[in-house]
Structures are given as C-alpha cells and as structure tokens.
A and B are shown apart, each in its own frame.
Chain A
Amino acid sequence: MEKVLNGKAYVLGNNIDTDQIIPAEHLVYSLTDEDESKKYGHFALSSVPIEKAGLPEGGVSFIEGDNWQSEFTIIIGGSNFGCGSSREHAPFALQKAGVKAIIAESYARIFYRNSVDGGFLIPYETVDKLIDKIKTGDQLELDLENNILKNLTKEEVHHLKPLGEVLPIVEAGGLFNYARKSAMIL
C-alpha cells in the first residue's frame, strides 16, 4: 500500500447512491475485459445531478467527453456514501476512473465492504464535515500512515478516523490476499 496519495478533490454531497455512481443500465459490461471495462470509468458518477456534481459550485463533470479516466482522484463525500444496491461495479467504476480514495462522513455497509474486500478504494471516514471545507479541484495529500488529509491549496490539515479493523484487509489489497496471507485459503 502506498503511504501517501496525492490528487485533486472531487466533492459530492450526502447519500450518493450506487445508481448515481454507476447507473443500472451500464451494469452489463464485462469487468474483466480490459477494454470493455473502461466503460465503467467513462460512466462513473454519470447520474449525479449536474448541479450537485463537483461542489460547492456544481456543474463540474467528473469525466470529460469520451474519456474514461478523471482528473480527480480523491472523492470527498458526505454521509451515507454508496447507499443503495450491492453492485460492486460502483467502487470498480470509481477505481477504473482513477479514484484512489474516498473520504466521507459515513458509508453504506455494502459499498464499504466492497471497496475494502475488493481492494478497489480506500474508504476513509472524516472526523469533521469536510464537504463544506474542501472545494472541487483543491490539491490534496493523503497521508495513510498518520491518517491525515492535507489540503495543499488551502494549507489546511484534517484528521481522519483510522481504518481500524479493516486496515489489514486494505493493506493486503483485498479479502482474497488477506485470506491468503493469514493462511485461510491457499
């Protein structure tokens, strides 16, 4: 696991559900075919209402034009991030688009598990309400060893909640690697 992640912030509100992250009509593409799976990146966050896309102003496309990768690699979310369906396509789509970490006030259970067990994203929880403090486009530095988020644009520092009991799975890169490391499976 990398110790420091750098990236531009993309800020979203509360209750970003899996239909907004990857609309159901796109759940048909292969996740294993390298080329076809880029569609997930292309359609990531495509159902977020445009006025709520990239806060505080809104109207910021996560993916430009025909691209499948985003210039934003750290998502700042409100409460209940990833609520709704069990589709693992949601953290997969964000990872495909280039997202490395999500920093939200809280998560829905299945999205959180999928992010961790699938090894797609690092789901951090905030101590403070960061969606009012960080702007889309702010340059961020995430210190994974010390659970600190630095906003380089605003020169502010935010403390994050430690990953706690899921840390070993995150460090291993997902449930299967973790289970192999701890000799649960071959």
Chain B
Amino acid sequence: MGMTITEKILAKAAGKRNVNPGENIWLNVDVLMTHDVCGPPTIGIWKREFGKSAKIWDKNKLVIFPDHYIFTADKYANRNVEILREFARDYEVENYYDVGTERYKGVCHLALAEEGYNIPGTVLFGTDSHTCTSGAFGMFATGVGNTDAAFILGTGKIWEKVPESIKFIFNGNLPKYLTAKDLILHILGDITTDGATYRAMEFDGEAVFSLSMDERMTLTNMAIEAGGMNGIIKADAITEAYVKERSDKSYEIFESDNYAEYFAVYDYDASKLEPTVAKPHSPDNRDLVRNVSGTELTKCYIGSCTGGKLPDFRFAAQILFGNTVKVPTFIVPASTKVARLLEVETYNGLTLKEIFDKAGCQIGQSSCAACLGGPDDTFGRAKDKDVVISTTNRNFPGRMGSKKSEVYLASPLTVAASAVTGVITDPRDFIND
C-alpha cells in the first residue's frame, strides 16, 4: 500500500518501515519549541516529574522563543519571561532568544523558519497550536500541551496517533488579488473547524508550489483552524534554497506515493476563487468579501504568524501606497527580521515602512501582540464593541481581547483595502489581474 508524506515521516521518526492511520506510535522528536506562555508551566511539570534528576534530553534540540506577551507592564507576563531566562541560564540552553537583546526574534513559528530549525523530513513539536506552520517545509510539525512537552523535554519521545490525510489541490494560477490566506479561508469554509480533526492536511498543486515559503506557511499555519494535526507541503527547490541559506543540517525529502490513500481529496481552480473572509465568530464562517463589503469597521490589523510576514506587508503596501487609512490600522511585523526588512524593501521608490507611516498606520514591535488579545496594554488589542478586520488566524469570541468585539479574518490585500475606505472592501477595487 502507498504512503503519504506524513506517514513516511512519522514512520522514519518511529523507526518503522510502515505506519497506518489510526496506529499509535512513539516518535523520536527532532526539535521541541516552547515560548513564554507555555514554557514556564512545561518547565514546572518537567521539574515536578523528573525531580532532581531532571535532564534535558538534548539541549541542541530545544528552542525557546519568548514571543507572546513581551511589550507589556503586566507583572505576571514579565515573570514568565524571567522564568525562561533563568531556565536557559541554569540549564545552558543555547537556543534561547531573549527579550531585550539582539537575539530577540518575535513570533516563534516564523522564527523557527528564519533561524534554520525547519528541516524537511524531521519531526517538530511545539507548545503552540500553530506549530503546524513548520509543515510548509515538508516536515511533520504539530502542537502539544505542557505535559506532553515536559515529557519530550525529559525523554525526547512522545506518542502520536498516525493521522489519515486529506489532500487539497490548487490548480491554475493565483490571481494578483488573492493570497494564500484566501485559499485557506476557502478550505475552512468547505471543511469547517473540525473537518480535519486528527488528520493531516496536505497541500498540493501548481498554485501552491508557485508560492514563496512565507506564503506556504500561511496555508499550513491555519491547518489547526480545521482541527488538523498537521499541515504539510512537500519540499521542492524553493524549500531547499530557503533551508540551505539558513542551515547546514542535512535533510531528507519525502513525498506521497501516487497510490497513497486519502480520507478525501479536494480539487480547486485557484484562478476562479474570489477574495474571502471569515466572519465573526469562527474561522470557518466563510463568505466572499464582496458579500460583506460596506461593513463598517473600527480597526484594521495586519500581523501575526499568519499575516505578519514580509509578503503580507508587500501586499498591503501595494494598496496603502499613496493612500491614507480611515480607521486605526495596526501593523505588527511577526519577526524582528521582518521589522528590519520593512525599512529596506521598497515599492514605487518608498520603503514599506514609509508607505505605512504616510498612510497613517501605527507600527508595533514584533510579537504575537493582539492576535490573541493578551494583557490590557497590548498593542492593537480589540476594545469593547470594536469591529476589526485582521490578517490573523482566529476570530472566536473574545480572541482579540474583547468578547463584545467582532473580528473578520481576511488577506492582507483585503485588510489594506478596507483600511483605506473604513469599510470592508474587495481588493479588486484597487488591484486588477
């Protein structure tokens, strides 16, 4: 019987020739990633369970990015970063990227890619549901809680149930008014927020392989929004070039067999899709932007691991160039690297930062920021009855900080177009293909 890419990678990590969906297996973990929200309780469980003999299974395989609640006066949040700092010092964790230093990176999922931890064919676990982002590199990556992470921290192993796979094929060319965000929002509308629970979401097709690594990460990032265990895209020449530039680790490229079995296969023509939103209060509450255009907004937000990468800001700049925003618009580069590039990358002779400044946007420091609400003083946080359109990943009640608020999820093109008009706006009003 044929195997999918996910099954092949899991088989390798389990030391088996074959694995079958539904089978529980123990995996050897290549990288464990944690951050300031789940790192401290993970460390707490690890110390409690392993006691004085607590030992990190492999220091080189542990990566810690403080990224969630960074620029806040909240004493508890700051204490969590202090716990990570002490842990990294006491246990000599080299892959710790401390706040307030040159090493600080910003949002973990993008930082994993930028710092060369995403390696095709490997297995990565992280204490964050969006860990599935790394699957864009032809690897298995998924989120776990603190107990599982503490277990990995001490043993390097974890159990997992081999998932069935669902394949999503995007044929054709992606028009200029669409981004990866539109594709994944479209899928979510089709399969809903539990359509891929305990399953792998495999992305394929020429439109997918035409995307940059950053855009591919937007697809895999939101696999969890369908309940997916992992999202995965086979590594190709674009992946290899990205990885080689950032790491000298060896890698192995896996691909699904032609005769592999899938739970379902979805075929789309990317050229026929339209700009898409998820309406309040669920990422699967799909509609076309044109059906909700004219909806009055109080805030626009471009940021997060989903929508705060360099291409997201390139898209936004195309529309914000020469325009002024009508509602408060918050720009949060996902990583410090992206923040630096905003001052280097140009569009029509201006840097992206200059374009955003002239348009009247507010630019925040790299972190998860208001994507998940966070402490009261978080940059861009939704207040009271805010109506927000955002490039982030979730719009459950209260997600961005106020349970009275309403959040629409959309592509950076749609958010930028809406920022200029103050109402939800189809980017085709600004961009033609």
Contact = CB atoms under 8 A, between A and B. Distances in A.
Contact of B151 (A19, A32, A106, A179): A179
B145 A19 contact: no
Given A24-B372, A86-B143, A110-B129, A176 B397 contact: no
Nearest to A116: B147
A68 B282 CA distance: 29
B282 A15 contact: yes
Contact of A87 (B24, B69, B145, B396): B145
B191 to A, nearest CB: 12
A175 B131 CA distance: 21
B74 A28 contact: yes
Prevailing SS type, chain A contact patch: loop
Contact of A110 (B24, B49, B144, B193): B144
B277 interface: no
B148 A117 contact: yes
Interface string A72-109: 00000001100111111100000000000000001111
Nearest to B44: A32
Contacts of A179: 151, 155
Interface in A172-186: 174-176, 179, 184-186
Contacts of A27: 37, 68
Given A20-B396, A29-B76, A113 B145 contact: yes
B62 to A, nearest CB: 17
A181 to B, nearest CB: 13
B399 interface: yes
Nearest to B376: A25
B38 interface: yes
Interface bracket on A: 35 or more
Interface string A115-147: 001110000000000000000000000000000
Interface residues of B, number: 51
A185 B129 contact: no
A6 interface: no
A118 B38 CA distance: 14
Contact of A19 (B24, B53, B193, B397): B397
Contacts of B282: 15
A85 B154 contact: no
B10 to A, nearest CB: 15
A151 interface: no
A121 to B, nearest CB: 12
Given A20-B398, A86-B127, A108-B194, A28 B147 contact: no
A174 B376 CA distance: 35
A175 B396 contact: no
Contacts of A83: 193-194, 227
A80 B194 contact: yes
A126 to B, nearest CB: 15
Contact of B396 (A17, A25, A110, A174): A17
Interface in B40-56: 40-41, 44-45, 48-49, 53
Given A49-B397, A113-B145, A87 B38 contact: yes
B398 A47 contact: yes
A31 interface: yes
Contact of A80 (B40, B150, B193): B193
Nearest to B41: A31
Contacts of A17: 394, 396, 399
Contacts of B155: 179, 184-185
20 contacts: A15-B282, A15-B396, A17-B394, A20-B397, A23-B373, A24-B373, A25-B374, A47-B403, A49-B397, A49-B403, A80-B227, A84-B129, A86-B38, A86-B143, A86-B144, A87-B37, A89-B41, A108-B197, A118-B146, A176-B45
Nearest 5 A-B pairs (CB), nearest first?
A88-B145, A28-B76, A114-B145, A47-B398, A80-B194
Interface of B: 24, 37-38, 40-41, 44-45, 48-49, 53, 68-69, 74, 76-77, 79-80, 126-129, 131, 143-148, 150-151, 154-155, 193-194, 197-198, 227, 229, 282, 372-376, 394, 396-399, 401, 403
Given A15-B194, A88-B38, 13 more contacts: A15-B396, A17-B394, A17-B399, A19-B394, A23-B403, A24-B373, A28-B77, A31-B41, A83-B194, A85-B128, A87-B38, A118-B145, A176-B45
